[in-house]
Each structure stands twice: as C-alpha cells, then as structure tokens.
Amino acid sequence: MADGTELYTLVEEIPELERPVLLYYLDGFMDAGGAGRLVVEHLVGTMSPRTVATFDVDSLIDYRSRRPPMVFDTSHWVDYKAPELTVKACEDAVGVPFLVMSGPEPDRSWERFTAAVIELTKRFDVSLTVGLHGIPMAVPHTRGTELTPHGNRPDLLGESTSWISRVEVPGNAASLIEYRLDEAGQDAIGFTAHVPHYLAQAEYPPAAIALLNGVTAATGLAFRTNELEAAAGQAKKQIDEQVAASDEIAEAVRGLEARYDEVAEASSNSLPLAGPDARMPDGDEIAAEFERFLSEQEE
C-alpha cells in the first residue's frame, strides 16, 4: 500500500476519542440534491467541530480544474478562499464524539490519499467509517426518501435488497476509500440517498435527513435535525408550487408516484425500483423530464 503519512498534519492537542465513528463526504463526485454536502454543513455548523487533521491540498488538488474563488476590491486582492480537506471532531446531541472528514475530492494521488485515510482511522482507532452521498433516481418528491446501504458490514445494512446487481461505473475517491478499508479488514459502510432526478441539481434537505437517520440506525449517534426539517418543509412547499404551475410536470410526477406505489406494493423490500417488473428509465428519459422541470423555473 502507498504511504500517505506526509499528506496530513495532526493538531497538537487532540480531544479524547473512544473508538469514534468517522463520517465522510468528498465534494467533486455525484451528490444529487447536495445530500452529502448538506449533512456535512449541518454537522460542522451545529456540533462543536474541532479540526484534528488537515490534508496537504497542494499535493492533491488540480487548481486549474477547480479554481478557488478570489475577491478583488477596487485596486487590490482582498480575499482568497483556499480549499480545505480536513478531519474534524464533533459531538452528537448527547455528547458522543465522532469524526467528520470533508473537502474536495482529490484530483490526484488517490492511493496515497486512501492510505492516509486508513492510517488516520488506525491512529484514531475508528470503529466504523461511513460514506454519504446522493444519486438521482426515478422517484417522486411526494414519497419518503429511500436509502441504498452498502459496505462490508452486512449486519449494519439491514434487510434491504439492492436495486441493482452488478454495474461498472467511473471511479471516485470516496468509493475507493470504502474498497481499500475492506481490503485492510476495517469496517466500512455507506449510505446513498435516492433523490428525485428532476431535483438532482437543487438542494434537497429530505435526502440529508434520510442520510442522518441511516447513520443513527447504524451507529447510534443522535442528531438534532430541526434546521434541516425546516429547510425540507420550505423546499417541499416551493417544489409543490412549481409542480402545480405546470400540467406537464404534474403529470410526470403522478406517473412517478404510480410507479413507486406499484413497485412498493409488489416488493417485499422498501426500495422503489427493486420489483421484478420495475424498469429504470434510460438516460434520455431522465434528461427529458429533468429538462422539462428546469424549463419551468426562473433560475
């Protein structure tokens, strides 16, 4: 395995951690509805974060492919928002410590980066590593958000049946972490939230709430989600108004509801596309419905 020791720096005073859970989300790969990003922003913004490790982004990021923002004011540069890839220690609603790793997905040195993450999990004696993100699915926003669990701990995945058997997809650093942790004999799982495909490019707080509920079920960590619940309520109101304003979109949503309910009734599991006769829409169908939805929005 590659050596990733030089890719990170630990703080001098590390808070007391007793076999913490590590949650992680890397920005750059698919994250429909901003599901994983919303989770991280909520946790870091509300749960007393303390940085315990910082990665050397200069060794990992291609600045020309993802240029950090800079601010020019009148005659000179006044701000530079440098990218950060960190591990932070947080506390859940009852004071149980856990770790959150977040930042941009590395553009290079994936093996060294993954080795560094594994070294950190050993350094902090992490009990379970959990990845989080969202994917677009042919589901309506009027039904509950489902999750696809995956990983090397079958006892934490529940009885859900996967919506797909085998598929080859473009690689990403987050999935490589889970894969390498499995090879290293360390516990690793992930949760993928199913986001309505016509809302994939918008923020979708219900998906973030579903991810946190999945983490709670798997780890026992407790989260306050009042802010996300309020945001989810506001989002649903706006979506319902936009759908009601277009007969074409309303008809498409009703079609998704009918398919969802039919499959849910026929299947013994809770995944909306897992029934024997269910058909995943092809890329052209998803793109067409998504474009129709976007055409009705002002922004």
As a whole number, the mean pLDDT across the chain is 88
Three-state DSSP class for 117? Answer: helix
Structural domain total, the chain: 1
What integer is the mean pLDDT of 22-41? Answer: 96
- Which two structure tokens, joined as six digits, stand for 226? 């009042």
Task: HSE, CB side, 13 Å, CA atoms: give it for residue 277.
Answer: 8
The stretch 72-92 carries a mean pLDDT of 96
**CA-atom Rg of the chain in angstroms:** 20
Q: pLDDT tens for residues 137-172?
A: 999 999 999 999 999 988 888 766 666 677 888 899
Is 108 a member of any domain? yes
pLDDT, position 161? 60
Residue 284, domain member (yes or no): no
Q: What are the tens digits of pLDDT across the range 267-285?
A: 644 444 433 344 444 444 5
* Domain assignment present for 281: no
Closest CA to 153 of 218, 220, 222, 221: 218
CATH assignment of the domain containing 211: 3.40.50.10900
Q: Would you tell me how many other CB atoms lie within 10 Å of the CB of residue 83?
A: 15
Rounded Cα gap, residues 181 and 189, in angstroms: 10
In terms of Cα–Cα distance, which of 180, 82, 90 is closest to 131?
Answer: 180
Q: Is residue 60 part of a domain?
A: yes
DSSP string of 17-75, one letter each residue: -SS-EEEEEEETB--GGGHHHHHHHHHHHHS--EEEEEE-GGGT--TTTSPPPEEEETT
Q: Is residue 149 part of a domain?
A: yes
Interstrand relation of 21-27 and 128-137 (parallel, antiparallel or unpaired)? parallel
Domain membership flag for residue 163: yes
pLDDT for 267 equals 63
Range of the domain at 31: 5-224
Half-sphere exposure of 264 (CA within 13 A, CB side): 14
Q: What dihedral do alpha carbons 103, 133, 35, 163 form, nearest 10°?
A: 170
pLDDT at position 157, please? Answer: 83
Residue 205 lies in a domain: yes
Beta-strand ranges (E) seen in 111-240 are 128-137, 147-151, 188-196
Look at residue 293 and tell me whether its pLDDT is greater than 80: no
Asked if pLDDT for residue 179 goes beyond 70, the answer is: yes
Does any domain span residue 61?
yes
- Mean pLDDT over 114-122 rounds to 97
Q: What is the DSSP letter of 105?
A: P
At 294, which helix (H) or strand (E)?
helix 283-295
Residue 243 amino acid letter? V
